[in-house]
């Protein structure tokens, strides 16, 4: 069917893993848009509801983000910060980074190009 988005490259996949250092790693792959943002929202809500407010979102395999997806990230960042934590966005691809720059999101978010830098962002938070 033309225009259909059913192949795996366009579906959003969300993985969540607790690391021994207390940081939660959320890994995204595929498309984050109005049809899929609820998957990320649910994962972030469960993580934050569990008291985990230091989060790295690995975006290296995310190929597209819409304003709906960016809105979910901004809401979660605000919530994490209110809990004394933060969310570091790791390795957004050029397409996603361009969207962040276009909407000014890079002024409000911690964006890291390496895992080490993302970890440093979270380590610099007060305990």
Q: 37-88, pLDDT tens digit by residue? A: 999 999 999 999 999 999 999 999 999 999 999 999 999 999 999 999 999 9
Strand arrangement of the beta sheet that strand 110-112 belongs to: 13-18, 24-32, 54-65, 86-90, 110-112
What pTM, to 2 d.p., does this model score?
Answer: 0.90
In this structure, is residue 2 part of a structural domain?
A: no
Q: What is the pLDDT of residue 106?
A: 86
Q: What is the CATH number of the domain that holds 60?
A: 3.30.750.24
Distance of CA 122 to the CA centre of its chain: 14
**Average pLDDT, stretch 26-39?**
96
In this structure, is residue 46 part of a structural domain?
A: yes
Q: Which domain holds residue 54?
A: 11-121
In this structure, is residue 92 part of a structural domain?
A: yes
- What is the three-class DSSP state of 93? coil
In this structure, is residue 60 part of a structural domain?
A: yes
CB within 8 Å of 41: residues ≥ 6 apart: 72, 75, 76
Number of domains present in the structure of the chain? 1
In this structure, is residue 45 part of a structural domain?
A: yes
């Amino acid at each position: 069917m033309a225009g259909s988005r059913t192949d795996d490259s366009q579906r959003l996949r969300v993985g969540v893993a607790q690391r021994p250092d207390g940081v939660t790693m959320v890994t995204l792959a595929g498309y984050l848009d109005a049809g899929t943002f609820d998957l990320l929202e649910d994962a972030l809500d469960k993580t934050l509801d569990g008291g985990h407010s230091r989060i790295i979102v690995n975006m290296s395999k995310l190929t597209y983000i819409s304003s709906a997806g960016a809105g979910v990230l901004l809401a979660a960042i605000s919530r994490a910060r209110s809990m004394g934590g933060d969310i570091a966005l790791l390795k957004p691809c050029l397409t996603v980074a361009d969207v962040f720059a276009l909407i000014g999101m890079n002024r409000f978010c911690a964006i890291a190009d390496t895992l080490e830098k993302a970890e440093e962002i979270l380590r610099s938070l007060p305990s």
